[in-house]
Copies of this chain bind each other. A is one copy, B any other.
């Protein structure tokens, strides 16, 4: 937690194995993680602590089921703007950060300026979001891509080999 992303940290095979287990299931007891990683508690625990301090492990969260929460619609929103000054960008950033239905937002290279991932109850809720967003910041062009089926979704990053 102390050292947020001080870039490529050196990780050995045991570190990577531990990370791989933890990002699949962080509720495993330490002893189980140690067993599966082929080591014993103390070294595994020391590595976990070190990786937390280094910021490699950012935290631990519960994953919820969108459908159980009544969140049945997911849109990817492609945004083009004519305005590229810092003031506009700041207001757009604030608008996006303030809306919990925007679960992801990226600034892009190339001809589309931004992509958003928006999770809402239904199409009507998306429209409310959209109207609210364009009333707050001027946007040249918006294309909404509606997800019909989540084929794959993981929170596990691909851990590169050494």
Contact = CB atoms under 8 A, between A and B. Distances in A.
A70 B115 CA distance: 23
Copies of this protein in the complex: 2
Given A23-B61, A61-B63, A68 B103 contact: no
A44 interface: no
A56 B63 contact: no
A59 interface: yes
Contacts of A119: 157-158
Contacts of A110: 145-146
Interface residues of A, number: 70
A74 B62 CA distance: 24
Given A74-B106, A76-B106, A105-B152, 4 more contacts: A57-B63, A58-B62, A60-B61, A76-B108
A96 B151 contact: yes
Nearest to A118: B158
A137 B54 CA distance: 40
